[in-house]
Amino acid sequence: MTRYRNPILPGFHPDPSIVRVGDDYYLANSTFQWFPGIKLSRSRDLVHWQTVGYALDRLEQLNLRSTDDSMGLWAPTLRFFDGSFYLVVTLVQQFRAGEATRMSQQNLLFTAADINGPWSDPVYLHDLGIDPDIFRDTDGRLYIVSQDTKTGGGPRPERISIHEYDPVGKGLVGQPDPIWDGTELGITEGPHLYHRHGWYYLITAEGGTGYGHAVSLCRSRNLAGPYELAPGNPILTMSGCDGETAKSGHADLVETQNGEWWMVCLGSRPDGRKRCVLGRETFLLPVRWTDDGWLCVNEGRGLEMELPVPDLPECVLPEAETGNFAGPDWQVVRAWSPEHVRVSKDRLLLRARPEPLEDIGAANVVGTRIRHKRFSASVTVSFQPEIESESAGLVCYYDRLHHIGLFLTGTEGLSLEVRVADGAPAKTVARILWTDERDVELRVQSDEESRLQFSARPAGDGEFAEVGACQDGSILSDECAGVVFTWASFTGAFMCLHASGNGSRSDRWAEFSAFVYRSE
């Protein structure tokens, strides 16, 4: 293998942070309102990745029960110092964008001796802003570097501050020290600080996490500054480009054991209407230090899809089985409740709770990331609804007001219904009577432009019968969800399973099995 394809982590994998420990590389990604929180991945060649699990998998670490869509865990930084992993992250409880921006958040620190855990309970850091980084200086002292919207005194609402951290006392020392005011691109966030050859290098994300997103770089001889901006900044952006990739930003750097430097960053693959159903994905780019000590990213060619592999031995790691419901690629919206969700390797049981998908209290929305533009997914459902409102089905899900699904329902005896939520509670757009009392196999297929076709058959028997016309899957994107909410939308499409009484109390359980997801 001489070349690799981007993204290295397809589908919803935003805000990547990377660290090397010996010959192993570890990545952390934001998970927002999905539980468990902060996805962790491992590689030995930077190209092939394996899901390790999640750092925050206990309610005492993370309770997202009342957390709205696109809130929750934002922009982690993963580092390794003196035999311990350090993870710092923002937990956002409230965010409203616009002229009267309001935010309620905490910045938290977790540690573990092993990437597989157990990870510690949270250590509270501060609420100055978002996107914390943890940096160890040459003298061994640790610093929290983060966006700062509260210190004030800068020319823009956001700036970058540093704050010393005491690992023994598990707290911050002194007051925050602003070190960088950002550039005219604005929305300065996602800082990562590095030390190399006597220089402190500060990378930030700027321009907002949309089509104007960018990576900026500055440096200083002193930790506290002043910092000078890189010539020709930003060092990476796809702003103004009209290609198959977009939204490049929020970068982190790693040096290989062979002395190469690489950048991981987020990016997206828009469809023909500039909608990114797969969300913000993780890309890998080569970087080079110039003779005058600045960074050149991919020789200035931006976010490319195919590139030469790193100078590392190829190592293909086994991937998790998507059909294994107990595997690491499955998550639940907000909170996992054993009272309503029961999992084994090949079976998933969901209680048909009263809350519909649109309810923030829905506690049994279980899903895995959609990773391809062209895909198919199918699942066998065993469910006997006894009242009209009960349903169980297969759902392409972005958030509680943006989803499209095929459900087995109690309507008119037994029916199959396609329901669409496009910024409002779901409406039934297609229905067929289903007279076969055997388990039903539900299927969805997507093309390059996110047109979704649902179909069904008796489990494993005969041809699939289409249910309704193709549906517009592009509503499952940041671009569409962000129009509805007064906050931005930051996630990506999931393939979910769900059961509900849709307003009625129910003790019925739906059984899901034989889940298959494949690229087409």
Q: What gap in Å lies between CA 232 and CA 111, rounded to an integer?
A: 38
In the chain, what is the straight-line distance between the N-terminal and C-terminal CA atoms, in Å?
Answer: 23
Counts for the chain of helices (H) and strands (E), in that order: 1, 39
CA angle 455, 457, 459 (to 5 degrees): 130
Residues contacting 482, CB < 8 A, separation 6+: 488, 489
Active site annotation includes 121: no
Catalytic residue among 45, 133, 148, 189: 189
Q: What gap in Å lies between CA 118 and CA 111, rounded to an integer?
A: 9
Active site annotation includes 133: no
Indicate if the alpha-carbon torsion angle 410, 325, 61, 402 is positive or negative: negative
> In this structure, what DSSP letter does residue 310 have?
P
The DSSP string of 460-495 is: TSS--EE-SS-EEGGGSSHHHHHHHSSS------EE
- Give the residue carrying structure tokens 């923030």: 360
Catalytic residue among 15, 69, 399, 441: 15
Give the helix ranges, DSSP H, for 194-289: none
Q: What gap in Å lies between CA 249 and CA 319, rounded to an integer?
A: 27
Q: What gap in Å lies between CA 22 and CA 414, rounded to an integer?
A: 58
Q: What gap in Å lies between CA 64 and CA 451, rounded to an integer?
A: 32
Question: Number of C-alpha atoms within 13 angstroms, CB side, residue 450?
Answer: 25
Could you give the residue numbers annotated as active site? 15, 189
